[in-house]
């Protein structure tokens, strides 16, 4: 059914636009995912989304225990439209629930903060399995709870007096390095066919005016043919 709906929606866009979506999907991945814990500055939050989209990271997990996640459209440049954003902002959806859910889905939780026994970008073992990279607030970093649940700790080597990067810079540096290493590795990091179809369908829905009405029309015609 998804294939039929994709074919139906595709006729409402130019062939070049659909081809571009397929090209982007070729380099999308869920092998790496980004977790943002209580990031409160719209400029940084938006810059992170833009960076993730540019480097082909599809899933973004947004924990809003204390701070609302606000996007500045002038900085994000529409990046959120192409990302799968998972929000955790109900009383039950805490950092613990978010990270335990990722663990259940096969992700190792990688805290991006200096810590005893941490590893550098160059040493980080990508072949060990899927990784959820968690980044914290601009002022205090990730929470104690996130540190307790982390499986590994990752740091960016620094050689100056300043002890840390801005969060948007940290995300950009880490994703640039790890996405390049993924692209030249033998790891099967690309989306499955089922994942590709689901994401493509959402992109098509978001790119077509009144797609909900068109979809309703599609199913009405389909049901009419069946009956």
Closest by CA to 83, choosing from 107, 104, 62, is: 62
Q: What is d(CA 33, CA 109) in angstroms, rounded to the nearest whole number?
A: 10
> Tell me: the pLDDT tens digits for 92-126?
778 999 999 999 999 999 998 776 668 889 999 99
pLDDT band at 220 (very low <50, low <70, confident <90, very high): confident
pLDDT at 60 over 60: yes
Q: In 10 A of CB 220, how many CB atoms?
A: 10
The average pLDDT across 121-132 equals 95
Beta-strand ranges (E) seen in 121-215 are 131-135, 152-155
For the entire predicted model, the pTM comes to: 0.91
What integer pLDDT is reported at residue 126 of this predicted model?
96
Fold of 29-190: Alpha/beta knot (3.40.1280)
Which of 48, 47, 95, 103 lies closest to 67 in space, CA to CA?
A: 95
Q: Residue range 202-207: average pLDDT? A: 96
pLDDT single digits (tens) 38-53: 887 888 889 999 999 9
**Domain regions of the chain by residue span:** 29-190, 191-221
Top-confidence residue, 138 or 37: 37
Contacts (Cβ under 8 Å, ≥6 apart) of 151: 103, 108, 109, 110
Q: Give the CA count within 13 Å in the CB-facing half-sphere of 80.
A: 17
* Region label for 78, one of left (φ > 0), alpha (ψ between -120 and 50) or beta (otherwise): left
Query: How does pLDDT run across 174-197, given as a tens digit for each residue?
Result: 999 999 999 999 999 999 999 999
What was the pLDDT predicted at 217?
A: 86
CA distance 40 to 193: 35
Residue 133 has pLDDT above 90, yes or no: yes
CA 73 – CA 43 distance, rounded (Å): 9
How many percent of the chain have pLDDT more than 70?
Answer: 96
Q: Which has more confidence, 30 or 226?
A: 30
pLDDT tens-place string over residues 65-101: 887 887 877 777 789 999 999 999 888 778 999 999 9
Q: Are strands 108-111 and 59-63 parallel, antiparallel or unpaired?
A: unpaired
Which comes out higher in pLDDT, residue 106 or 221? 106
């Amino acid at each position: 059914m998804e294939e039929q709906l994709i074919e139906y929606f595709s006729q409402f866009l130019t062939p070049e636009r659909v081809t571009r979506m397929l090209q982007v999907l070729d380099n999308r991945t869920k092998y790496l995912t980004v977790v943002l814990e209580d990031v409160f500055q719209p400029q940084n939050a938006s810059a992170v989304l833009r960076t993730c989209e540019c480097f082909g990271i599809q899933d973004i997990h947004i924990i809003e225990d204390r701070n609302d996640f606000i996007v500045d459209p002038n900085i994000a440049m529409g990046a959120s439209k192409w990302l799968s954003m998972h929000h955790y902002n109900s009383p039950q959806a805490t950092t613990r629930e978010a990270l335990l859910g990722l663990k259940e889905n096969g992700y190792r939780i990688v805290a991006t903060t200096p810590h005893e026994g941490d590893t550098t970008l160059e040493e980080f073992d990508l072949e060990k399995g899927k990784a959820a990279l968690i980044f914290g607030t601009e002022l205090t970093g990730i929470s104690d709870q996130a540190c307790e649940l982390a499986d590994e700790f990752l740091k960016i080597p620094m050689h100056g007096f300043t002890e840390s990067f801005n969060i948007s810079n940290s995300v950009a540096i880490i994703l640039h390095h790890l996405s390049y290493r993924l692209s030249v590795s033998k790891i099967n990091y690309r989306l499955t066919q089922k994942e590709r179809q689901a994401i493509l369908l959402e992109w098509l829905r978001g790119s077509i005016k009144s797609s909900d009405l068109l979809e309703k029309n599609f199913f009405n015609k389909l049901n009419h043919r069946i009956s």
